[in-house]
Amino acid sequence: MTDRYASFVQSAAGRALVKRLGLPDPPRLRRHHPGDPLLTGPALLGAAVGGRLAEPVTAILTAAGVELRDTGTAAPQDRFGALVYDATGITDSTQLRQLYDFFHPQARALLPSGRVIVLGTPPSECPAPREATAQRALEGLVRSIGKEFGRGTTAQLVQVTGDANDTSLESALRFLLSGRSAYVSGQVIRVGVGAASAPADWDRPLDGQVVLVTGAARGIGAALARVLARDGAQVVALDVPAAGDALAAVANDIGGTAVQLDLTAPDAPTRLADHLASRHGRVDVVVHNAGITRDKTLGRMDADRWDQVIDVNLSSQERINDVLLERELIPAGGRIIGVSSIAGIAGNRGQTNYATSKAGVIGLVDSLAPALRDRNISVNAVAPGFIETRMTARIPLVVREAGRRMNSLAQGGLPEDVAETIGWLAWPASGAVSGNVVRVCGQSLLGA
Amino acid sequence: MTDRYASFVQSAAGRALVKRLGLPDPPRLRRHHPGDPLLTGPALLGAAVGGRLAEPVTAILTAAGVELRDTGTAAPQDRFGALVYDATGITDSTQLRQLYDFFHPQARALLPSGRVIVLGTPPSECPAPREATAQRALEGLVRSIGKEFGRGTTAQLVQVTGDANDTSLESALRFLLSGRSAYVSGQVIRVGVGAASAPADWDRPLDGQVVLVTGAARGIGAALARVLARDGAQVVALDVPAAGDALAAVANDIGGTAVQLDLTAPDAPTRLADHLASRHGRVDVVVHNAGITRDKTLGRMDADRWDQVIDVNLSSQERINDVLLERELIPAGGRIIGVSSIAGIAGNRGQTNYATSKAGVIGLVDSLAPALRDRNISVNAVAPGFIETRMTARIPLVVREAGRRMNSLAQGGLPEDVAETIGWLAWPASGAVSGNVVRVCGQSLLGA
């Protein structure tokens, strides 16, 4: 569960050797601790002519205590915590040159674990093909910057609709600038319309929220329970009875409650709904984190391996959603959050069952998000890449090393990185973020 | 421009050595030659309960001379040229088991360069979230099969709308089953509504079509000119004046005409339109193949490198489209076909300019396709992966080898593979295929 190579590289002796031999050089990533400032240095703001977001972004960042600079006042030797560019003014490919003009001189100006954020308009909302084309082009730039800049830099494209909710833009910026998004890079995140409420304290963005976490006994689920509790949530930690001891330890640790339940049992949705109704009267956030693998190539896979994986990772989650929604236990402002996977995006050898289930989770987000818009319930998912867990620790060394290094950050992510991203999607302030599948993969090379 | 390793592996001496050492084993791919049958063996058809495509698929394949089998009559030792499964009947994740039941016993039944085709419904057209979820899940299965089956197998998901045009379904099946799609795998292809007309002779699917190919002097463009001419098109081959000799050689070779023109010149669109109007009165198919690279990391890139790449690969193409459309030189039934790139999907280090331009090509497809639906003009693009050209021959050996092998077919593609895919999109029979970006990458691991 530890990346010994990265620890070595980050030691004094290791640094010298790695530089001399030209080995992969995974940087130590800046991660979030309560009370941390959003950035380790000032943010440089830029905007294309005609952009519409300079004003809200300036207001948001100033309120968040970020020191702001613009290209007029920045000196060549200045170093920044973030480069933030409002590209919403770009309506034609010939205007893309403004992005070059902003980023070219700053390519080496970012502090370690710096942030690149380009703000654009969703192409589907652009009135003219020329504008849609130029806005879609931004994705190629951002993904290339993510692969170029190095030293823990992450780069994202945030697509903001014309009538987007300012609180949700703030929520996205606070997440993406902070150490919470340490292992999220090369992503396109859409911020749209939907009710969102800012927290009284941005260090406790989940204050008072009742959050259900399935598969909470270990790995990503346990990390998630801890992150959610740290951020103010009342956590209902659920796992199978066989994991009861580990589950109780997690629940005790965070002052949450534990529920032992096999989610694939026919009566599980009803029992779960009854429990939530009687104990909390509602569940604000449902995180379907429980998942299993049963790897075999399709020719060698028995039917049980297929059925179990589809049922745990997909079908049982659909049954639970349906019952919780039907009984109106997820109130307006609620969240459904799934866990997909790079395998669900790209497919994977030996994982036909797993990849099918995880591609289905993407389908669930795509279809349920618009269906629940009227009820003001958002639906999103994360798609982890290589994360350091007991599951990945069992992968043979050579394959594991390839998986760890084949991303822009040259290292695996931690369960906490996935947890922080799910946590952000759960914030009441993120209400206008719906229908997104956010990869937590360090911008893995793998994809489709 | 040759993959010496693959040639070696495919020799008798090479085969023995490669097996002993466990080296990558790139199979010799089945490629199209006029008069070839669609498949080298029978096709096994299957369908989920309630599917709607068994009838048209059976009719199409029978007419195309394919021998059909079903699971009731197939023997365990039977070997197939293709496995074709109609999954449109699947409306819930619990029904995905039917795919396992069909594919599990056949995982080793495909002949070399076999074909897996799963037919589904576009999730956005499914009335219920459960159906949309299950239909989206198919993508994970197909992409995993593409990575598992090996021996030159390709696997695709063809999403067919409820009111799809049968001729375009036939066009897609004929392309995907044939050797024309040798290097296309792991793709999702949508077949929708739109006028499409079957050719008199499926071996000359472009008979009488006037096709403009830019960048036709060499590489993919020259291969494309040859494939289009072979399939019956009148080719207008265009390139810059500096490539005049090579261009003339291509044009003479195929009985086409040559146009020397710098497409970035301000008067280029008008001059091109004038030429097409006076010589042909129209242009049925426009293939924007011309493209350049000017690689540098963003910090080291001068503004010219940025401007040239954006202008050649994107902006000049937009200007030409606009003039040709405004003067109505692209008739109903016409085609606009762009060339994107894996770099436009995933981004690439040292290619911020190129990736931006190629991401823009995807935006052009996404936005122009719906805008031109009323005029019955389709807009699509291909996105090549690692293709053996003069451009890739200049890549340093180790990087080149990685690029070549990191895909499900363990080899680079040929310019002909890209050409065949563009050719298929150009067929009058493919009229209901619009808004697609088809990767020609052997299911490269790279993506986003």
Residues of A designated catalytic: 354
- B210-440 carries CATH number 3.60.130.10: no
- Please identify among residues 226-285 of chain A the ones whose CB lies closer than 8 Å to any CB of chain B: none
**Chain A residues close to B142, C-beta within 8 Å:** 347
What stretch of H or E contains B258? strand B257-260
φ/ψ (deg, to 5) at B154: -115, 150
Angle between helices A415-426 and A219-230 (to 10 degrees): 50
Task: Decide if B426 contacts B378 (C-beta within 8 A).
Answer: no
Go through B206-216 and write b for each residue having 16 or more CB atoms within 10 A of its CB, e for each that does not.
beebbbbbbbb
* B187-191: strand order across its sheet: B68-70, B43-47, B80-86, B110-120, B154-160, B187-191
Q: Is B100's Cβ below 8 Å from some Cβ in A?
A: yes
CATH number for A31-191: choose from 3.40.50.720, 3.30.300.30, 3.30.465.10, 3.40.1030.10.
3.40.50.720
* B97, B298, B310: residue with CB nearest A104: B298
* B140, B347, B349: residue with CB nearest A347: B140
* pTM > 0.80: yes
User: In the beta sheet, which residues pair with residue A288?
Assistant: A338
DSSP A27: P
Rounded-to-integer distance, Cα A220 and Cα A240, Å: 15
| CATH 3.40.50.720 domain residues, chain A | 31-191, 210-440
Q: What is the pLDDT along chain A (448 residues), one digit of tens a residue?
A: 568 788 877 887 777 777 777 777 899 999 999 999 999 999 999 999 999 999 999 999 999 999 999 999 889 899 999 999 999 999 999 999 999 999 999 999 999 999 999 999 999 999 999 999 999 999 999 999 999 999 999 999 999 999 888 899 999 999 999 999 999 999 999 999 888 999 999 999 999 999 999 999 999 999 999 999 999 999 999 999 999 999 999 999 999 999 999 999 999 999 999 999 999 999 999 999 999 999 999 999 999 999 999 999 999 999 999 999 999 999 999 999 999 999 999 999 999 999 999 999 999 999 999 999 999 999 999 999 999 988 788 888 888 888 899 999 999 999 999 999 999 999 999 999 999 999 999 999 999 9
Rounded-to-integer distance, Cα A208 and Cα A334, Å: 13
Burial of B330 per CB tally in 10 Å (0-12, 13-18, 19+): buried
Both tokens assigned to A296: 């075999």
**Chain A residues close to B94, C-beta within 8 Å:** 310-311, 315
> Which ranges of B303-351 would DSSP assign to H, the alpha helix?
303-310, 316-326, 342-346
Angle between helices B352-371 and A129-148 (to 10 degrees): 150
Mutate to test the interface with A, among B313, B367, B406 (most CBs of A within 10 A): B367
φ/ψ (deg, to 5) at B19: -65, -40
Rounded-to-integer distance, Cα A381 and Cα A439, Å: 9
Whether the predicted interface score ipTM is above 0.85:
yes
Give the CA distances from residue B105 to residues B68, B74, B251, in Å, rounded to whole numbers and listed in that order.
17, 11, 50
DSSP B312: I
Rounded-to-integer distance, Cα A180 and Cα A34, Å: 10
- Please identify among residues 142-171 of chain B the ones whose CB lies closer than 8 Å to any CB of chain A: 142-148
Pairing label, strands B68-70, B257-260: unpaired
**B386 min Cα distance to partner chain A (Å):** 14
Rounded-to-integer distance, Cα B287 and Cα B310, Å: 17
Both tokens assigned to A227: 């992150």
B126 contacts A315? CB cut-off 8 A: no
